[in-house]
Amino acid sequence: MLIAIDVYYKATYAKAVGVLFDWADDTSQQIIADTINGVADYEPGQFYKRELPCILQLLQQLDINNLEAIIVDGHVYVDNNKTFGLGGHLWQALDQKVPVIGIAKKAFHNTEQVSSPIYRGKSQNPLYVSCVGISEQEVLTKVQLLHGPYRIPAMLKLLDQQTKGD
């Protein structure tokens, strides 16, 4: 089972949501959510410091040993030197027990060696996929399996809707 996680920031708190599913599922198996108060302020270049505590709090609802991988809306690495981004910091925080896959809508400058563009559906715009703790080729193949005919897989679109909803 996979979990895709995203966090949405409101004025005084954050809402973290996770959608659990298997690679080719067209519907989620479970949706979990949590409200996080006292969220850190955004620091340019240090986004993970804000988002990581929210993700870790959400994951406390699950036995992470049952997860094949965690998908985050973002990057595993922020440069070709493999400096950790959100995904890498999450992998490290989980003692490298669960692979982390970053699926981002935009590329970072100087990440072409650690992030692969992948085209889905008829879109001319790629998603940028990075990973740690799992084979990149396996991930790229499986991201193509994610349900939905469009650039954004159906489960990630559902996650976005759930995260931004009240």
**Count of CB atoms situated within 10 Å of the CB of 34:** 17
Q: In this predicted model, what pLDDT tens digit does every residue of 118-136 receive, in sequence order?
A: 999 899 999 999 999 999 9
pLDDT of residue 22: 96
The mean pLDDT value for 72-91 works out to 96
pLDDT of residue 25: 94
Query: What is the band of 108 on the pLDDT scale with cuts at 50, 70, 90?
Result: confident
Does residue 12 carry a pLDDT above 90?
no
Bridge partners for 121 per DSSP: none
CATH number at residue 89: 3.30.2170.10
DSSP label of 34: E
pLDDT of residue 166: 67
Residue tagged 């996770």 (tokens):
18
Q: What percent of the chain is predicted at pLDDT more than 70? A: 99
Structural domain count of the chain? 1
The mean pLDDT value for 51-56 works out to 96
CB within 8 A of 58, min separation 6: which ones?
5, 16, 17, 18, 32, 33, 34
Nearest to 18 by CA among 59, 53, 69: 59
pLDDT of residue 42: 82
Edge-to-edge strands of the sheet including 127-132?
30-37, 13-21, 2-9, 69-72, 100-104, 127-132, 116-118
Six-digit token string for 10: 């409101």
Q: Whole domain around residue 40: which residue ranges? A: 2-164
pTM of the model: 0.95
- Write down the mean pLDDT value for the chain: 94
The mean pLDDT value for 143-157 works out to 94
pLDDT of residue 99: 98
Cα dihedral 164, 136, 48, 37 sign: positive
